[in-house]
Amino acid sequence: MSKFLAFSVPACLGRFVLLAAPLALAVGCATQAPAPVDDRIAAEQVRAPAAAETRGLQVFALRNPAVTELSEAAVQAEQAGDLGRAVTLLERALRIEPRDPELLQQIAEIRLGQGQWDQAESHARRSFDVGPRVGELCQRNWRTIALARERQGESEAARSARDRLQACQVEPPPRL
């Protein structure tokens, strides 16, 4: 056995350098400039106030454990600063549960962090449409929409989103 070299060398593949760098430059559409620091904080602005306002109606849906697993992995990736991986994980979860309002809002907040205002707004809007439309999630939806609109310079539309935000905190509607 010892006659032959039995390698357990760590990956030697570093030599196989390919044309990665010029290619990355060629793909303008796929990469974005990192968001300025205060945009990252924007996502926190959306979450923090809503978390403090957990009065009123809260709606919690039963979740597929696969969705939970992916969504938790996404939170970890986001905390580690890997926003791209976080979105990949959330989109995998969204393929499993395309109408999960929590997932959609998670993506919206990461898009805020990435400075992709239009996608932040669209995802928050979709989250609202399929979500409970009251309570904490509703507030995060409209806070995201308001912030995204502000950053896009649509102050009038942002104001109406802030107004809509107020309506999230309602008593539970009577069942008919």
Partner 1 sequence: MARKRSPGKTPRGWLYRCSRAVLLFALGCGLGAIGPWVWWLDREAGQRFADRQWSQASRVYARALELYPDRALSAEALALELAAVGLRPGDPNQIGRFEHRGDRVEAHLPGFLFADERQPPQRLSIRFRADAVAEIRDGGGRTLSLARVPPAELGSLMPLDDRDRTLVALADFPPLLVTGIQAVEDRQFAHHHGVDPRGLVRAAWANLRHGQVVQGGSTITQQLVKNLFLTPDRSLLRKASEAVMAMSLERRFDKADILEAYLNEVYLGQDGARAIHGFGRAAEHYFGLPVQALDAGQIALLVGMVRGASWYHPQRNPERARARRDRVIDMFFQTGLIEEEQWRAARSAALDVRDGQARPVRRHDGFLDLVSRQLRRDYRDRDLRGTGLRIFTTLDPVAQQHAERVLADGLARVESQPDQLQGAIVLVEPASGEIRALVGDRHPGRFGFNRALDARRPVGSVIKPFIYLLALAQPERWHLVSTLDDAPLAVPVRGHDPWRPRNYDNQSHGEVALMDALARSLNQATVALGLEVGLPALLRLFDQFGISGPGDAHPSALLGAVDLTPLQVAQLYQPLAAEGYSAPLRSITQVVDADGSEIGRYGTRMRPIREREALALLDVALRHAVTDGTARSLSWRLPNDPGVRGKTGTTNDRRDAWFVGYTDDWLGVVWTGRDDNAPAEVSGAASALPIWADLFGALPLRAPARSWPERIEWYWIDWPRPLLAGEDCPNARAVPFVVGSQPTDYSPCMGIEPDPPRRRLWRRH
Contact partners, residue 64, CB within 8 Å, separation at least 6: 96, 97
Give the residue with the Cβ less far from partner 1, 53 or 129.
129
Give the residue with the Cβ less far from partner 1, 20 or 33.
20
Give the residue, chosen from 61, 76, 96, 172, that forms a contact with partner 1 under the rule CB under 8 A. 96
Closest approach of partner 1 to the CB of residue 48, in Å: 26
Site string for partner 1, 45-84 (x = CB under 8 A): -------------------xxx-xxx-------------x
Give the residue with the Cβ less far from partner 1, 4 or 52.
4
Q: How far apart (Å, rounded) are the C-alpha atoms in residues 148 and 127?
A: 15
Q: How far apart (Å, rounded) are the C-alpha atoms in residues 83 and 42?
A: 14
Give the residue, chosen from 54, 95, 159, 166, that forms a contact with partner 1 under the rule CB under 8 A. 95
Per rule CB under 8 A, is residue 7 in the interface with partner 1? yes
- Residue 19 per-residue DSSP state: S
Q: How far apart (Å, rounded) are the C-alpha atoms in residues 105 and 124?
A: 5
Give the residue, chosen from 53, 98, 159, 166, that forms a contact with partner 1 under the rule CB under 8 A. 98
Contact partners, residue 42, CB within 8 Å, separation at least 6: 112, 113, 147, 151
Q: How far apart (Å, rounded) are the C-alpha atoms in residues 120 and 141?
A: 10
The torsion angles phi and psi of 43, rounded to 5 degrees, stand at -60, -40
Q: How far apart (Å, rounded) are the C-alpha atoms in residues 142 and 157?
A: 11
Closest approach of partner 1 to the CB of residue 53, in Å: 19
- Which residues form the interface with partner 1 (CB under 8 A)? 1, 3-13, 15-20, 22-24, 26-27, 29-30, 64-66, 68-70, 84-85, 87-89, 91-92, 94-96, 98-99, 118-119, 122-123, 125-126, 129-130, 133-134, 173, 176
